[in-house]
Structure 1
Amino acid sequence: MNIEKVINNNIVIAKDAQGQETIAIGKGIGFQKKKGDLIQPDAIEKTFVNTDAENSNRLLKLLRNIPIEHVQIANDIINYAKTSLGQDLNENLYITLTDHINFAIERFENGVPIQNALLWEIKRFYNHEFLIGKEALVMIHQKLGYQLPEDEAGFIALHIVNAKLKNSNVEQITEMTKIIQNILKIVTYEFNISLDEYSLDYERFITHLKFFVQRLFVGQKLESKDASDFIFILKEKYRKEYQTALKISEYIENDFNRRLESDELMYLTIHINRITK
């Protein structure tokens, strides 16, 4: 890989063997280098193929002003998240998470911590991602010496959740989390109970709600299965559960101007019955 342009000591724009323009990152990779110089493969810690000019420009603007150690720790956290989740994540996470970690460290140094108002909900609804966030705090402490608060594990978790979803952003994930929280409040209020958050039925309900809210945000409906007959049976057999599903539907319609179809009401009723036994 040969250098096309040196951005700073740690970042260069280069071309690979296929002539593809690439952003290459590595400690000291651009030190005393010039256009045409060869980069040793073992000096490269991370590369970004320049397929999207807008994202590449955002990335370069970000990386110019961030210590290489912050870039490296973000990369380490993302690699750990991919391994833990067993899946690839949206490449945009390298931009958003690097920026967030850098900003979090700046705030910590200046004694300006930010409280995560959704920390409790993130722990409940995105437990795997939250545990990755907790491990990220350990990595940051071990490698950079900063003991960031648990709230930051929640913020990191939201970035990871966002990177698993298509056509979403952290603000939407935050709003989706609030919607799930409100739906659970409706259920607990109507039945006057506390839900068993460690039960399999609760976990299934949360999983259903995550996909339900995702569909809500993208305007997607469940594939119609003509649930009218089944809904009639559910109305009779699980009247309170069905009425609760209707209250959820009312909340969704009032706040998001979307009427739920029979299929959605059917699944909500079934899940409510399971978790309120």
Structure 2
Amino acid sequence: MRIKKVFNNNVALVEGPNRSEIIVIGKGLAYQKIPGENIDPSRIEKTFVMETNELSERLSTLLSEIPPKHLELTDQIIRYAVKDLNTSFSNNIYLALTDHISYAVTRSTQGLGLKNALLWEIQKFYPKEYHTAMHALHLIEKETGVKLPVDEAGFIAMHFVNGQQDGQEMEQTLMVTQMVQEILNIVTLHYGIELDEETLNYSRFVTHLKYFSYRTMRHESIPSEDDELYEQVIAKYPEAFACSEKVRAYLREEYQVETTEGEMVYFMLHIRRVTSRD
């Protein structure tokens, strides 16, 4: 692999197959190297092959503007997250998360904090990702000496969530989180009770709401195939139907989404279970 640009002793941009550009990381792999020389493949610990040339150029540009060690730090965080969450991420997360962490560290040193308006929801809906993100804050402090606030753990957690969604945009992920919370608020207010977040029924309901929200953003829905079942569920659980109608009205007003009878059946059944005190 021929070097195109050296960022520091451990990070370089090299030319890959078909003249593609690849970011490589490895201890000392670019030490005393200059463009045009070759990299020892045995020293490469991590390669970044972005999904498009545009993303590759953006990562290269980013590394020219920030300390390259921030990419190494991000790589360390992501490797930990992969093991801790037992998942995999799109390579695109390296660009987004490196940019975020570098900017967060810079802001913090300037005394500029950024409040996370969805921190509570993130802690509740994505506890595993949030827990992993808290560890990321410890790694950031260890490597940079900068102690970031817990708000940043929320932002980093959403990068983990987003990175598992096959390149899905962060804005969409945040919108899904907000939609789930609003629907839960409707249920809570309708019944005048606090939902037990420790129950399996609550967990199932939240999972359903997440997938429903993602389907909504993709303009997908569960078709209405059984009118008789729909009527039976309404008759059996009228209160759950009344609550579901409020959810339907909210989705229509806020997102211009028409909820199918098939979706309504699932809403009624989940709402009945999550609010039942039997």
Partner in structure 2 of residue 102 of structure 1: 102
Is the 8 Å Cα contact of residues 20 and 50 (structure 1) preserved in structure 2?
Answer: no
User: How far did 1:255 drift?
Assistant: 1.3
3-state SS of the aligned residue for 2:243? helix
Structure 2 residue 240 is matched with structure 1 residue 241: yes
Measure the CA separation in 2 of the matches of 1:17 and 1:263: 49
Partner in structure 2 of residue 54 of structure 1: 54
Measure the CA separation in 2 of the matches of 1:101 and 1:264: 39
Partner in structure 2 of residue 158 of structure 1: 158
Partner in structure 1 of residue 88 of structure 2: 88
Measure the CA separation in 2 of the matches of 1:86 and 1:26: 24
Measure the CA separation in 2 of the matches of 1:130 and 1:191: 29
Measure the CA separation in 1 of the matches of 2:231 and 2:163: 40
Per-residue CA shift, 1:52-88, capped at 9, x if unaligned? 1101111111111121221111111111121222222
1:42-81 superposed matches below 5 A: 43-49=43-49, 52-81=52-81
Measure the CA separation in 1 of the matches of 2:235 and 2:242: 11
Q: What is the number of equivalent residue pairs in this alignment?
A: 275
Task: Give the direction of change, closer, same or farther, for the CA distance of 1:50–1:70 in structure 2 (3 Å limit).
Answer: closer
1:207 is aligned with what amino acid? T
Partner in structure 1 of residue 177 of structure 2: 177
2:67 is aligned with what amino acid? P
2:247 is aligned with what amino acid? I
1:121 is aligned with what amino acid? E
User: How far did 1:247 drift?
Assistant: 0.8
2:230 is aligned with what amino acid? I
Task: Give the direction of change, closer, same or farther, for the CA distance of 1:242–1:50 in structure 2 (3 Å limit).
Answer: closer
Is the 8 Å Cα contact of residues 227 and 266 (structure 1) preserved in structure 2?
Answer: no
Per-residue CA shift, 1:24-50, capped at 9, x if unaligned? 234654454234423234543431225
User: How far did 1:136 drift?
Assistant: 0.7
Task: Give the direction of change, closer, same or farther, for the CA distance of 1:221–1:240 in structure 2 (3 Å limit).
Answer: same
Is the 8 Å Cα contact of residues 7 and 64 (structure 1) preserved in structure 2?
Answer: no
Task: Give the direction of change, closer, same or farther, for the CA distance of 1:255–1:42 in structure 2 (3 Å limit).
Answer: same
Is the 8 Å Cα contact of residues 130 and 154 (structure 2) preserved in structure 1?
Answer: yes
With the length of structure 2 as denominator, give the TM-score of the two structures: 0.92
Is the 8 Å Cα contact of residues 231 and 266 (structure 1) preserved in structure 2?
Answer: yes
Partner in structure 2 of residue 227 of structure 1: 226
Unaligned runs of 5+ in 1: none
Tell me the percent identity.
38
With the length of structure 1 as denominator, give the TM-score of the two structures: 0.92
Partner in structure 2 of residue 8 of structure 1: 7
1:71 is aligned with what amino acid? L
3-state SS of the aligned residue for 1:23? strand
Measure the CA separation in 1 of the matches of 2:17 and 2:60: 22
User: How far did 1:20 drift?
Assistant: 5.4
CA RMSD of aligned residues (A): 2.0
Per-residue CA shift, 1:87-119, capped at 9, x if unaligned? 221111000000000011011101111111111
Is the 8 Å Cα contact of residues 6 and 30 (structure 1) preserved in structure 2?
Answer: no
